[in-house]
């Protein structure tokens, strides 16, 4: 963080290049994009599982964040497609990686903590579309700030993100829409 605030451009560039190389090396070490070994209990391909695709797309956005950092720091000033501000990298990291990873892993873990399943299996596909949609919308304005279509995509990103988070909460059972009586109340009646 201090490198962002101080005007030590050589150290900042070196730090961001090291950070980008570390991110990309970590993704390669995790082998996120390689073919998956099917587990004995699975009947379908991991590439047809929306939560797996959500994790994979999250790591794809993380890889793009690393490449954007490299491009911004190693390319000549006028040759890089990435603006000089860190807005694009922050959205790739925050919206693209962290948020999509929470949607994927949370959809897998949170219902299990309560001994339940996801309410609607189709909602995982919707999360995949909504999540990646809001990331594209946030990135559009950072990459093409004067474009009308980028402005439209950026204005749609917020509602897509809210819809994804609401669907996530409903699907994982974090919000109860059915108002079922508690097991204790059923026993006493």
Chain Cα centroid distance, residue 126: 14
User: Is 13 part of a structural domain of the chain?
Assistant: no
The DSSP H or E segment spanning 117 is none
First-to-final CA distance of the chain: 58
Domain span at residue 71? 18-32+48-177
Number of domains in the chain: 1
User: Is 4 part of a structural domain of the chain?
Assistant: no
User: Is 58 part of a structural domain of the chain?
Assistant: yes
User: Is 87 part of a structural domain of the chain?
Assistant: yes
User: Is 88 part of a structural domain of the chain?
Assistant: yes
User: Is 43 part of a structural domain of the chain?
Assistant: no
128, burial (CB in 10 Å: exposed 0-12, middle 13-18, buried 19+): buried
57 vs 100: CA distance, rounded Å: 8
Q: At a CB cut-off of 8 Å and minimum separation 6, what does 160 contact?
A: 130, 133, 134, 137
User: Is 105 part of a structural domain of the chain?
Assistant: yes
User: Is 40 part of a structural domain of the chain?
Assistant: no
What are the pLDDT tens digits along the chain (189 aa)? 444 555 557 777 788 888 888 888 888 787 776 776 665 665 655 567 888 899 999 999 999 999 988 888 787 766 666 666 678 888 898 999 999 999 998 888 888 777 778 888 888 999 999 999 999 999 988 888 888 898 899 899 999 999 999 999 888 877 766 655 555 545 555
71 vs 189: CA distance, rounded Å: 66
């Amino acid at each position: 963080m201090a490198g962002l605030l101080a005007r030590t451009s050589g150290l900042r560039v070196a730090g961001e290049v090291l950070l980008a190389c570390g991110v990309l090396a970590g993704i390669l070490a995790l082998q996120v994009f390689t073919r998956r070994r099917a587990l004995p209990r699975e009947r379908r391909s991991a590439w047809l599982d929306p939560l797996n695709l959500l994790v994979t797309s999250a790591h794809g956005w993380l890889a793009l964040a690393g490449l954007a950092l490299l491009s911004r720091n190693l390319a000549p000033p006028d040759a890089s497609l990435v603006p000089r501000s860190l807005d694009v990298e922050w959205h790739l990291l925050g919206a693209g990686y962290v948020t999509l990873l929470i949607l994927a892993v949370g959809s897998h873990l949170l219902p299990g903590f309560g001994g339940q399943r996801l309410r609607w299996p189709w909602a995982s596909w919707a999360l995949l579309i909504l999540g990646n949609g809001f990331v594209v919308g946030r990135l559009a304005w950072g990459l093409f700030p004067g474009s009308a279509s980028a402005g439209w995509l950026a204005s749609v990103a917020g509602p897509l993100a809210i819809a994804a988070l609401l669907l996530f909460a409903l699907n994982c059972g974090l919000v109860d829409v059915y108002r079922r009586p508690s097991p204790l109340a059923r026993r006493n009646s």
